[in-house]
C-alpha cells in the first residue's frame, strides 16, 4: 500500500470527533491520530518547528531561504459524529472499489494527507525551500465558531504577533457548480475568496401562560413566529458584491447569449443578473443576506399556553452588511413584546485580492492537474471555514477542493458513507506538489 493511502487509512481510524462540550473530546484519540501522522511523515515532524495551541492544534513551520512570501496550507483533523446507518465501518479507512471510506475522508483528512504527502516528498528530495512554508492543522473547526478556543484563531494570533504576513493561504471549501446554474458551457469549479458572516438570533416573548381553553389575545409564540414569517416574505435586498462580479466576469467567455453580455458588464446589467440569481436558491445566497427560522419552542404540553415562546433565526451575512445592520433591521420589524438576543456573530470576511497573479497561480495549478476543468472561478463562500481567520494576516486566502470526485460525492460530507476516490486523492497530492513548486521553490 502506498504511504499516502496507508497514512490516510491510519488517521481515518481515529474518531477525532469535535464536540461543543469540550470535555467529551478525548485527548488520547487526538494524540493517537497525530502520532500516526508523525510515523508516516517523520521528516516534517523532525524538520519543522512545531507549535501547539489548545493542546491539539498544530502549526508546522518549515524555514525557507526567504520569509517574505510564506505559503500556508491549512486544514483540520476533527470530524463530525456519525449515525448508525453507515453501510461500512466509519472509523477504519475501509477501502473498496478504488474508494476510501470514513468520516473525514473528504472533510478533511484526505486533504490534509495530500498536504503532508506532498511536503514530505519535497523534504525527501532535499530541494531547499526558497520561501517559508506553514502547515496549519486545527482540531476544532467543526465546533470552533461559537466557542472561544478556536485552534485556527490561535494560530492566526501567534503568526500575527510574530509579524508574519502570509502570501497565500489554501484551505478547504472549494465547490462545484453545475454549468446550468450560470448558463455556461462548462461545469464550474469555484475557489472561495471570502466568506459570509454568521449569526443566530433568538426572538423571544415571555408571558403568563395558563390554560389553553382561555387564550389571551396573542399567545407567546405568535409574535416570534410573525417575525419568522416577516423575514421569509421580506428577504434582504440583493447586492452585487465584488466576489460575484469577479465570478461572472470569468464566466462570461463560456456563457450563452445574453448572459455573456450580462456577465461582461455586471454593473450595467445588474437587474437581469439579480433576476436570474434570485430564481436559484444556491445563487441567491451569493448576493444577499439570508435569514431563516431553524428552531422554535413553546410550552411543553398540548393544552398549556407557553410562558415563553421563541424562535431561532439563522442568519448568513453578505459582505456589504454587518451583524449590527441585520440586528437593527430585525429590531425594526419585530412585535412590541419580542426581545431579540444574539450571543454570537461572525462578521463577513474581507475579499481576497484577485488581480495580482496569486489567484491565477492557484487556479492554473488546478487546471494543470485537472485539464477538463476549464472554468475555475472565484466566488463568495456561503458556509463558514477556519480560513476566515486568516484574512487578518493575508490578502490571498483561497478555499480550494483538490479532489474532483468531490463533485459526485459531496452528499457524503457530514453524512453516511463519506468517501474519497483514490484516483482523486492521487491528483490532490499532485496539486499540492505543483503548488509547492509554484510558491516555495
Ligand atoms: Zn471541514
In this prediction, residues 113-139 reach a mean pLDDT of 97
- Write down the pLDDT at residue 246: 93
Q: How far is the CA of 206 from the centre of ligand 1 (A)?
A: 38
Q: How far is the CA of 437 from the centre of ligand 1 (A)?
A: 25
- The answer, yes or no, to whether residue 383 has pLDDT greater than 90, is no
CA–CA dist 31, 141 (Å, integer): 17
Q: How far is the CA of 414 from the centre of ligand 1 (A)?
A: 9
- Asked whether 290 and 261 are in contact (CB, 8 A), the reply is no
In this prediction, residues 143-164 reach a mean pLDDT of 90
Q: How far is the CA of 141 from the centre of ligand 1 (A)?
A: 7
Q: pLDDT band for position 343 (50/70/90)?
A: confident
Q: Which residue has the higher pLDDT, 105 or 242?
A: 105
Q: How far is the CA of 192 from the centre of ligand 1 (A)?
A: 13
Chain centroid to CA 29: 24
Q: How far is the CA of 9 from the centre of ligand 1 (A)?
A: 18
Q: How far is the CA of 173 from the centre of ligand 1 (A)?
A: 7
Q: How far is the CA of 76 from the centre of ligand 1 (A)?
A: 7
- The answer, yes or no, to whether residue 144 has pLDDT greater than 80, is no
Q: pLDDT band for position 384 (50/70/90)?
A: confident
Q: How far is the CA of 66 from the centre of ligand 1 (A)?
A: 31
Q: What is the mean pLDDT of the chain?
A: 95
For 223-240, write each residue's pLDDT tens digit.
999 999 999 999 999 999
- Write down the pLDDT at residue 100: 98
Q: How far is the CA of 137 from the centre of ligand 1 (A)?
A: 11
Q: How far is the CA of 256 from the centre of ligand 1 (A)?
A: 34
Whether cis (ω within 30° of 0) applies to the bond prior to 258 is yes
In this prediction, residues 72-80 reach a mean pLDDT of 97
Q: How far is the CA of 140 from the centre of ligand 1 (A)?
A: 10
Q: How far is the CA of 23 from the centre of ligand 1 (A)?
A: 21
Q: How far is the CA of 341 from the centre of ligand 1 (A)?
A: 28
Q: How far is the CA of 172 from the centre of ligand 1 (A)?
A: 6
For 167-225, write each residue's pLDDT tens digit.
999 999 998 888 888 999 998 999 999 999 999 999 999 999 999 999 999 999 999 99
CA–CA dist 172, 138 (Å, integer): 12
Contacts of 153 (CB under 8 A, 6+ apart): 144, 389
Structural domains in the chain, sorted by start: 3-173+383-440 (3.40.630.10), 196-346 (3.30.70.360)
User: What count of Cα atoms within 13 Å lies in the side-chain half-sphere of residue 27?
Assistant: 3
Q: How far is the CA of 71 from the centre of ligand 1 (A)?
A: 20
Q: How far is the CA of 258 from the centre of ligand 1 (A)?
A: 37
- The answer, yes or no, to whether residue 147 has pLDDT greater than 90, is no
Q: How far is the CA of 50 from the centre of ligand 1 (A)?
A: 22
For 266-316, write each residue's pLDDT tens digit.
999 999 999 999 999 989 999 999 999 999 999 999 999 999 999 999 999
Q: How far is the CA of 303 from the centre of ligand 1 (A)?
A: 43
Q: How far is the CA of 64 from the centre of ligand 1 (A)?
A: 28
- Write down the pLDDT at residue 177: 87
- Write down the pLDDT at residue 344: 84
- The answer, yes or no, to whether residue 146 has pLDDT greater than 70, is no
Helix (H, G, I), strand (E, B) or coil at 144: coil
- Asked whether 78 and 142 are in contact (CB, 8 A), the reply is yes
Q: How far is the CA of 80 from the centre of ligand 1 (A)?
A: 9
- Asked whether 79 and 140 are in contact (CB, 8 A), the reply is no
For 27-63, write each residue's pLDDT tens digit.
999 999 999 999 999 999 999 999 999 999 999 999 9
- Write down the pLDDT at residue 200: 94
Q: How far is the CA of 79 from the centre of ligand 1 (A)?
A: 8
Helix (H, G, I), strand (E, B) or coil at 367: helix
Q: How far is the CA of 374 from the centre of ligand 1 (A)?
A: 25
Q: How far is the CA of 236 from the centre of ligand 1 (A)?
A: 28
Q: How far is the CA of 191 from the centre of ligand 1 (A)?
A: 15
Q: How far is the CA of 241 from the centre of ligand 1 (A)?
A: 25
Q: How far is the CA of 413 from the centre of ligand 1 (A)?
A: 9
Q: How far is the CA of 183 from the centre of ligand 1 (A)?
A: 29
Alpha helical stretches, state H, 138-221: 151-161, 179-182
The answer to whether the Cα torsion of 425, 428, 430, 433 is positive or negative is negative
Chain centroid to CA 34: 23
Q: How far is the CA of 385 from the centre of ligand 1 (A)?
A: 7
- The answer, yes or no, to whether residue 418 has pLDDT greater than 70, is yes
Closest CA to 61 of 155, 180, 201: 155
CA–CA dist 148, 27 (Å, integer): 18
Q: pLDDT band for position 145 (50/70/90)?
A: low
* Backbone φ, ψ for residue 194 (5° rounding): -175, 165
Amino acid at each position: 500500500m502506498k504511504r499516502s493511502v496507508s497514512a490516510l487509512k491510519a488517521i481515518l481510524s481515529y474518531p477525532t470527533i469535535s464536540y461543543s462540550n469540550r470535555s467529551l473530546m478525548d485527548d488520547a484519540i487526538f494524540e493517537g491520530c497525530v502520532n500516526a501522522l508523525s510515523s508516516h511523515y517523520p521528516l516534517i515532524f523532525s524538520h519543522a518547528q512545531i507549535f501547539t495551541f489548545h493542546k491539539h492544534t498544530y502549526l508546522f513551520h518549515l524555514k525557507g531561504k526567504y520569509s517574505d512570501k510564506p505559503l500556508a496550507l491549512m486544514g483540520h483533523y476533527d470530524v463530525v459524529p456519525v449515525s448508525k446507518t453507515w453501510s461500512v465501518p466509519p472509523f477504519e479507512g475501509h477501502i473498496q472499489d478504488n474508494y476510501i471510506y470514513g468520516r473525514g475522508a473528504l472533510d478533511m483528512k484526505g486533504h490534509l494527507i495530500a498536504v503532508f504527502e506532498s511536503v514530505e516528498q519535497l523534504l525527501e528530495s532535499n530541494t531547499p525551500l526558497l520561501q517559508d512554508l506553514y502547515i496549519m492543522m486545527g482540531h476544532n473547526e467543526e465546533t470552533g465558531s461559537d466557542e472561544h478556543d478556536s485552534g485556527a484563531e490561535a494560530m492566526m494570533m501567534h503568526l500575527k504577533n510574530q509579524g508574519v504576513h502570509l502570501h497565500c493561504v489554501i484551505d478547504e471549501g472549494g465547490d462545484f457548480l453545475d454549468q446550468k446554474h450560470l448558463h455556461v458551457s462548462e461545469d464550474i469549479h469555484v475557489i472561495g475568496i471570502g466568506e459570509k458572516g454568521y449569526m443566530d438570533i433568538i426572538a423571544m416573548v415571555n408571558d403568563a401562560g395558563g390554560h389553553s381553553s382561555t387564550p389571551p389575545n396573542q399567545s407567546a409564540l405568535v409574535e416570534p413566529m410573525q417575525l419568522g414569517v416577516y423575514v421569509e416574505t421580506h428577504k434582504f435586498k440583493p447586492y452585487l458584491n465584488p466576489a460575484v462580479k469577479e465570478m461572472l466576469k470569468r464566466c462570461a467567455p463560456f456563457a450563452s447569449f445574453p448572459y455573456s453580455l450580462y456577465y461582461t458588464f455586471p454593473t450595467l446589467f445588474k437587474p437581469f443578473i439579480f433576476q436570474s440569481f434570485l430564481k436559484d436558491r444556491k445563487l441567491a445566497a451569493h448576493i444577499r443576506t439570508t435569514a431563516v427560522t431553524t428552531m422554535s419552542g413553546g410550552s411543553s404540553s398540548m393544552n398549556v399556553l407557553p410562558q415563553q415562546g421563541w424562535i431561532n433565526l439563522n442568519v448568513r451575512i453578505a459582505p456589504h452588511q454587518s451583524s449590527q445592520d441585520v440586528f437593527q433591521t430585525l429590531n425594526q420589524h419585530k412585535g412590541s413584546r419580542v426581545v431579540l438576543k444574539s450571543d454570537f456573530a461572525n462578521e463577513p470576511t474581507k475579499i481576497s485580492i484577485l488581480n495580482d497573479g496569486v489567484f491565477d497561480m492557484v487556479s492554473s495549478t488546478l487546471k494543470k492537474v485537472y485539464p477538463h476543468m476549464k472554468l475555475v472561478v472565484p466566488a463568495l463562500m456561503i458556509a463558514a471555514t477556519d480560513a476566515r481567520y486568516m484574512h487578518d494576516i493575508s490578502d490571498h486566502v483561497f478555499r480550494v477542493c483538490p479532489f474532483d470526485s468531490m463533485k459526485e460525492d459531496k452528499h457524503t460530507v457530514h453524512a453516511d458513507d463519506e468517501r474519497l476516490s483514490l484516483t482523486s486523492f492521487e491528483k490532490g497530492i499532485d496539486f499540492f506538489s505543483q503548488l509547492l513548486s509554484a510558491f516555495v521553490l
